[in-house]
Amino acid sequence: MNPPHPAAQHLFFSQAGHTFRRADDAARSDGHAGPALSVDPLTGLGNGRQLQQRVRELAAERASDPAPFTIGLANLDGFKPINDLFGPEAGDQILCQVALRLKACVPVGATVTRTADDEFAIVLPLVFERKGAEKLGQVLKEVLSAPFDLGDRNVRLSASFGFAVYPFAGDTFDDLLKSADTALYRSKRRGRGQITVYSQEIAQEMKRATQLEQALRNAIIADEVDVHFQPIVDLRNDAVVGFEALARWCDADLGYVSPSVFVPLAEERGFIEALAEALLRKAAQAALSWPRELFLSFNLSSAQLMDPATSTRLLAIVNQVGLDPHRLELEITETAVMTDTGVAQKIVSELRAAGVCVSLDDFGTGQSSLGRLRDFSFDKVKIDRAFVSRISADRASEHIVKAIVSMCEGLELEVVAEGIEDVSEALILKALGCGMGQGYFYGKPADAVTTMRYLSDRYRDVAVR
């Protein structure tokens, strides 16, 4: 899902042998609509040209008395991995089933069209306001969440929705579609299965996100995004064994911006690789001053695990800086490897072959973590803080952690407990045989200079620069 953009900027898109384009691009090609060109050949629905025709007809009918109507965009979540996994024929079957479900559920008089690969548009003449759009969106969301039949198997998908109400969200086709696109993009940002109706508040929110994006791009170019380091300790003796690198950004105009805001933004807007590579270079340079037995832990994004060149680029950075690859540990989440499993496996294998340690982060929170341990060769597992934070008061959490530690011992995997906040949590983890830990109890993230001071208190041969 791309950031909001005017309808005129939508480009050709090929899917399963068919070519689609946004409605106004089609209209410009010959200036009129022929019957054959108004039908999507896969699903039999109208296409982008029919969407444009219907919206303009409704707007013309209601020009003198602008009674509202609504257009909606529905985009399937996670369609590409399903399409890649089961093949384009299975993808086509799903799209045809989506078309049938939408036609069966929309109100009388509504028009359903397919405007892109896994995106559908709906014109709703009798939906006049926000609540009506949200109510219909909820119905469609539930309908599309039911399993799709592929013959010998069933698959589940979710869908995200963006709605725009005429004339409040725009009084021309282009403006109305742009507003619906903005609402859909916001839904995608919030996660799977979300419903958004366009409003001025949402427009301002997206405008702020765009401003933040530009500021972050400039900060990356100016090398103004910093790296802080949080200690990871051996729980048997509380000795520091390494540090996790964490991104930090304080903008001159915006002030401190949380990584929970700017890192997802970089992922969404497509420049997370540039940010990650700049941070890895900076972190690796700092690690050169540490005792050689300490490792550097660094997080990879889902976008990086979809790019076959990731391992080559990361190893090039490490070699240029002069850091021993055996001192580098790369953390990946289960969610990240699920996006394109084949490419992720290739990247992990190449990194481990070069001596880099690879750990599975946030273990226990994914949909099939045990399957990931079977399918991938990891060196380490990091227990999610959600279990650690409740380990003192919740017997279930304690048993889960105990089971993870025991399982990893059998698989010869090292274990790190994240988010240790107090001594009681540390003592329980030690008693359970957990090997390593990190959290505020052992040290908060600190910049490179403070980290060197931290180390100089523990290693006599470390000099603070």
**DSSP codes joined into one string, 374-390:** HHS--SEEEE-HHHHTT
Q: Which range (100-114, 324-338, 449-463) has the least confidence?
A: 449-463
User: Which residue segments constitute the domains of the chain, with CATH numbers given?
Assistant: 7-198 (3.30.70.270), 210-456 (3.20.20.450)
The amino acid at residue 391 is I
Q: Report the C-alpha gap between 309 and 78 in whole angstroms.
A: 23
pLDDT at 214: 95
Closest CA to 184 of 394, 7, 331: 7
Q: Which range (251-255, 310-314, 370-374, 414-418) has the least confidence?
A: 370-374
Q: Of 169-173, 185-189, 217-221, 301-305, where does the model show the most confidence?
A: 217-221
Round the average pLDDT of the chain to a whole number and report it: 87
**Average pLDDT, stretch 384-407?**
90
What is the DSSP secondary structure assignment for residue 109, as one 8-state letter? T
**Average pLDDT, stretch 284-288?**
97
Q: Which range (30-34, 151-155, 459-463) has the least confidence?
A: 30-34
Q: How far is CA 117 from CA 26, 148, 209, 248, in A?
A: 16, 17, 26, 37
* For residue 247, pLDDT beyond 70: yes
Closest CA to 193 of 155, 144, 127: 144
3-state SS, residue 372: helix
More confident residue, 242 or 13: 242
* For residue 9, pLDDT beyond 80: no
Q: Residue 273 contacts by C-beta under 8 Å, 6 or more apart in sequence? A: 301, 303, 304, 307, 310, 313
pLDDT at 140: 97
Q: Which residue has the tokens 């892109």?
A: 116
Q: Residue 334 contacts by C-beta under 8 Å, 6 or more apart in sequence? A: 360, 362, 363, 365, 366, 367, 368, 369, 372
Contact 277, 247 (CB under 8 A): no
pLDDT tens for 413-449 read 999 999 999 999 999 999 999 999 999 999 999 999 9
Closest CA to 197 of 134, 285, 120, 103: 134
Closest CA to 225 of 272, 266, 278, 174: 278
Q: Report the C-alpha gap between 382 and 416 in whole angstroms.
A: 5
Report how many helices (DSSP H) and strands (DSSP E) the chain contains, helices first.
17, 18
Token pair of 389 as six digits: 């934070």
- Residue 366: pLDDT band (50, 70, 90) is low
* For residue 464, pLDDT beyond 80: no
**0.75 exceeded by the pTM?**
no
pLDDT tens for 78-108 read 888 788 778 889 999 999 999 999 999 999 9
CA 185 to chain centre: 13
**Average pLDDT, stretch 172-186?**
93
Q: Which range (326-340, 357-371, 448-462) has the least confidence?
A: 357-371
Contact 401, 389 (CB under 8 A): no
- Strand extents, DSSP E, 148-204: 148-149, 154-155, 158-166, 195-197
- Residue 125: pLDDT band (50, 70, 90) is very high
pLDDT at 195: 96
Helix (H) or strand (E) holding 243: strand 239-251
Q: Report the C-alpha gap between 232 and 284 in whole angstroms.
A: 16
Give percent of the chain above pLDDT 70.
88
* For residue 364, pLDDT beyond 80: no
Q: Which range (136-140, 179-183, 364-368) has the least confidence?
A: 364-368
Q: Residue 337 contacts by C-beta under 8 Å, 6 or more apart in sequence? A: 305, 344, 345, 348, 372, 376
pLDDT tens for 28-87 read 333 444 444 688 999 999 999 999 999 999 999 887 777 899 999 999 998 887 887 788
* For residue 277, pLDDT beyond 90: yes
Helix (H) or strand (E) holding 121: strand 119-124
How would DSSP label each residue in 307-332?
-TTHHHHHHHHHHHHT--GGGEEEEE
pLDDT at 37: 62
Q: Report the C-alpha gap between 299 and 330 in whole angstroms.
A: 6
Closest CA to 242 of 250, 234, 231, 252: 231
pLDDT at 358: 94
Q: Which residue has the tokens 């072959």?
A: 353
CA 260 to chain centre: 12
Contact 413, 378 (CB under 8 A): yes
